[in-house]
Amino acid sequence: MTKRIEESLEKIPVINWFIKLGKKIKIPGLQGMSLYDVLEMYGIGIVKGALTTRAGGIAFSFFMAIFPFLLFILTLIPYIPIEGFQQGLFDLIKEGLPPKTFDAVNGVIKDILNNQYGGLLSFGFLASIFLMTNGVNAIFGGFEYSYHVKEFRNVFRAYIVSLGVSLLMAFFLIVTVSLIILYQIALSKIDKIGWFDTGELDLFYLGRGFLFLVMIYTIVSLLFRYGTKQGRQIKFFSAGAILTTVVSLFTFYLFGIYVVKFAQYNQLYGSIGTLLILMLFVWLNAIVLLLGFELNASIYRLKKQLD
């Protein structure tokens, strides 16, 4: 790979030992390329790809698309024949947000419910599709600014793909909430039959967490596959998708601790502090998403160099 970078790193104590170890570990499917080659390409992509700047653009556009996305889902609720779907959706949103932020979001959701009763052809519903598509399109735009991406879509094709992916994301959310409700019903029937006490085993929380994890991984894989033209070569189970999902879990856990014990946004900014916490949370997850994408892009570029 880059000889100058390699020679510089080999002069650093301890680091040179890890370089030698990394060169000995071969990655399957890369025709003899080592772990060091992948990590070096990955590091170049992160350094030269203006990661935090791209994450800022994605975070802003995605933040602006959150409530139109909720408007889209809430408009569909009357057409979903599952009792308790709305409450199940609220519970999932509450679990997926950082501490102390759901109250602010809940207020906006209730305002949407109280002020929109339009059908599938109402202006508000169509506008929500347009705005949530813009959010997904911003994510794809952040992907295309990667140092490793050399193939680009035209504007119209990119927007059509973004529209399809945004609708698929909404579909996966609806399916996840529906499965959680059906799973809860199944557990209640098991309790009535008396086979065992599902509450003592925390089966509901474990099952809901598993379904939420599957939804996150599926959406991340979907974004990576259709985010760029080269993404068509990325499989459902990819290193980048696994990295993003795992790091997102740790980010959520650590960020929750930070909000509860250290953050003082509400004392400094009042009620707007909640929105700042939410924005920071979205920005951190945008960085995690880009880190996963850069890993897939690095592996793809190495494969192209070997062909």
pLDDT digits (tens, 9 = 90+) for 253-274: 887 777 777 666 656 565 666 7
pLDDT (0 to 100) of residue 33: 62
State the average pLDDT over residues 62-71: 78
Among candidates 209, 213, 232, 212, which has minimal Cα distance to 222? Answer: 232
Q: Which two tokens stand for residue 71?
A: 């408007």
- Domain ranges in the chain? 49-306
95: tokens are 């679990």
Q: Predicted confidence band at 7 (pLDDT cuts at 50, 70, 90)?
A: low
* Stretch among 9-18, 144-153, 219-228 having the lowest mean pLDDT: 9-18
